[in-house]
Structure 1
């Protein structure tokens, strides 16, 4: 199997990340992934997992946790989604060789070798399954777990893909489960209320954890999480104040993520795993997470951030106002169809002097013409493709201006890396 053949094989599976409309509770669930893992011999057993769900800050929190564990001398598997430029970014083992900003990203040879081993089991499962064919996310999740087991990681940090209760990553049992800030997202699938969304996210809590860590939440959300923990007899922890931790990631919201990550690491002490404060501090400071309030250049300043919901848009707006100085702000914005379009636009509207509306090369990308109605009183432009938006932003920006690229990780990935690397 060549790498091209491996890529084509993966592309043959249904990818719900590219589908806007589907029946969430009918199409997703744990029966397929659990059955497939059993067929593989349950490679998840024997791996110590830290499982992270939430609306915003999941990836950053996973990164903070992974870098702390790495600084403590552990071999750490990291599984996150979505990716910025290359699907392989989702599977990493640290410490590892640096490949762009993605340390320890699974190599092409390792990916094709692992997939080649799994392929006979995939075909066998799909022939006999009573629950339908495996999805791409299920295959890739199983591949990551099998790869982590083969490489004998000490810990694996998993980020949920969608929700939590029915997410493929929920087939594992975690030492510690983490809930990052919860707000409205995927309301067509997770539910129209915060309580329903919190119920789906809190579904990663299974009663076998040593502790559940939650970021501070609204009253109705925290009530759902506490009830779940109480019913299962799991210890619940949440920081009641934030320490001033030294981190490179910018924005007050990243300080929240760092504090939650630190509390998750401290919870490991209940398992007899003592990680000294010096390693915690070193890991937090060394953590990088591309595409999140990331500075690409100066004169003009270019900031990229994958904010895709109202709370994340509010956070990047605050970070830009608090941290950066500029003459005019050129907003490059592209949003996916299933997001709170009006809410995101309303958060960013006052920030922008000029607006470039665009669309990622994804079926879920929203037509930029629809976005235009939210910026009628702004100097605005339509760029059908992100590379056109990038060229236009550089023409419009003076050396004292700031370009903010946001609304979608797909847009951010294309703006930074270009379409050629985006796969």
Structure 2
């Protein structure tokens, strides 16, 4: 298969849906020589902040001279973003080569009576194989959904299990309380392992603590009590903090929102533990460079000035609250324009209730996903909050309409679904290049 054929093959497995369980992964990886067992993994689960935390970890380790794989999902603009080494996407020819090999093994396992692997299982297998082949020093591995039965949890061991902020999401699959969801996320913690946990609700923390006790794992909490934020605007943030007894001053990150400072502290806590655990050569200069050089597109990311145009992947209540905080801080008193598209299985009403007070105009559109809510249906929901709502089915038309009707001093925010904002990002960057 060439690259396009391999992508088509992967996409066609989407019909097998989501399957929580590890039997298929175990068989497929066994046929490939169990590459996952040869990797040093920092495994990251949680509801929000997984990708950012993985990116901070990867960037710091890269600055220290290590070769680091980063596995995330979904992608924003191109499939190869999901599998990276030191910031470089997997080459298209490697996707084609590895998927061709995986397809052969899948045919073998299906002939032995196993079920056909899902799309996520195939992509995760490809990542494991590629990282092993490329002999990376570490992999920052983002969980796809949940944790306990997620395809990434086929790994027998991890250097550290990292648990980010936990809130309600995917309630139909993971459970309808924070405690139930925390139980699924905490499923990545290994026997006699180490868990580094985001300081969050007691409901979530108590479940994680119980799992650690049961598995004889060390529980370490990343604390945010003594964080001193010296600067926070739409371009960067500077702060002081203490991590594992070490005081850091004037750390700077370019990711926006107070939650990103917390995510960076969680990542740095993991790095400090890894440093002791593996006797790594990590100095403060490398940490500083790693933090300031971390990029994570699509998360309160400013793409344009005059009008200000920001994209953000807020798609659940926790994400919406983080976005609302950033709007409150950076654009206080300004009413903005919201370009929004969402997936039907998200807490749409919860997100709207948080975001609507900050906008006096909304354009709804339909993400390119079979789970998307139609823009007209979304418009009707939003009409309960404000009168000025326009629905435009096609995302490119929606972006063009939004820009055409904006004044230079306006603030435009596009949010609601990563699937949509990836398209918005591509469209907007292409427009900027043309102009």
TM-score, structure 1 normalization:
0.92
In the alignment, the residues of structure 1 paired with residue 417 and residue 217 of structure 2 have an alpha-carbon distance, to the nearest angstrom, of 35
Match of 1:388 among 391, 397, 420: 397
If asked which structure has higher relative contact order (CA below 8 Å, sep 6+), I would say 1
| Partner in structure 2 of residue 179 of structure 1 | 163
Q: Does 1:13 align with 2:13?
A: yes
| Partner in structure 2 of residue 267 of structure 1 | 273
Q: Does 1:239 align with 2:222?
A: yes
Within-5 A mapping of 1:214-229 = 214-229=197-212
Gaps of 5+ in 2: 228-238, 240-250, 431-435
Q: Does 1:167 align with 2:150?
A: yes
How far off is 1:274 after superposition?
A: 4.1
In the alignment, the residues of structure 1 paired with residue 186 and residue 111 of structure 2 have an alpha-carbon distance, to the nearest angstrom, of 33
SS at match of 1:214: strand
Deviations 1:323-351 (A, max 9, x none): 24685411011111111111000011101
Distance 1:420 1:128, change over 3 A: farther
Deviations 1:76-105 (A, max 9, x none): 0110001111111100011xxxxxxxx300
Distance 1:208 1:140, change over 3 A: farther
Give 4+ residue runs of structure 1 displaced > 4 Å after superposition: none
Two-structure CA RMSD over aligned residues (Å): 1.8
Within-5 A mapping of 1:92-111 = 92-94=84-86, 103-111=87-95
Asked if the contact 1:15–1:137 (Cα under 8 Å) also holds between the matched residues in 2, the reply is no
How far off is 1:248 after superposition?
A: 0.5
Q: Does 1:77 align with 2:69?
A: yes
Distance 1:326 1:304, change over 3 A: farther
Asked if the contact 1:202–1:228 (Cα under 8 Å) also holds between the matched residues in 2, the reply is yes
SS at match of 1:145: helix
Deviations 1:114-141 (A, max 9, x none): 22233321221222143x1111110110
| Partner in structure 1 of residue 101 of structure 2 | 117
Distance 1:420 1:121, change over 3 A: farther
Q: Higher mean Cα deviation, 72-81 or 277-286?
A: 277-286
SS at match of 1:50: strand
| Partner in structure 1 of residue 110 of structure 2 | 126
| Partner in structure 1 of residue 188 of structure 2 | 204
SS at match of 1:44: helix
SS at match of 2:111: helix
How far off is 1:370 after superposition?
A: 2.4
Asked if the contact 1:304–1:405 (Cα under 8 Å) also holds between the matched residues in 2, the reply is yes
TM-score, structure 2 normalization:
0.89
Deviations 1:4-48 (A, max 9, x none): 2212222231357xx6xxxx6xx3211110121111111112210
| Partner in structure 1 of residue 363 of structure 2 | 356
Q: Higher mean Cα deviation, 162-171 or 325-334?
A: 325-334
| Partner in structure 1 of residue 343 of structure 2 | 336
In the alignment, the residues of structure 1 paired with residue 328 and residue 172 of structure 2 have an alpha-carbon distance, to the nearest angstrom, of 32
How far off is 1:391 after superposition?
A: 1.1
Distance 1:66 1:332, change over 3 A: same
SS at match of 1:78: strand
| Partner in structure 1 of residue 417 of structure 2 | 408
How far off is 1:224 after superposition?
A: 0.3
Higher strand share: 2
Q: Does 1:399 align with 2:382?
A: no
| Partner in structure 2 of residue 281 of structure 1 | 288
Q: Higher mean Cα deviation, 269-278 or 177-186?
A: 269-278
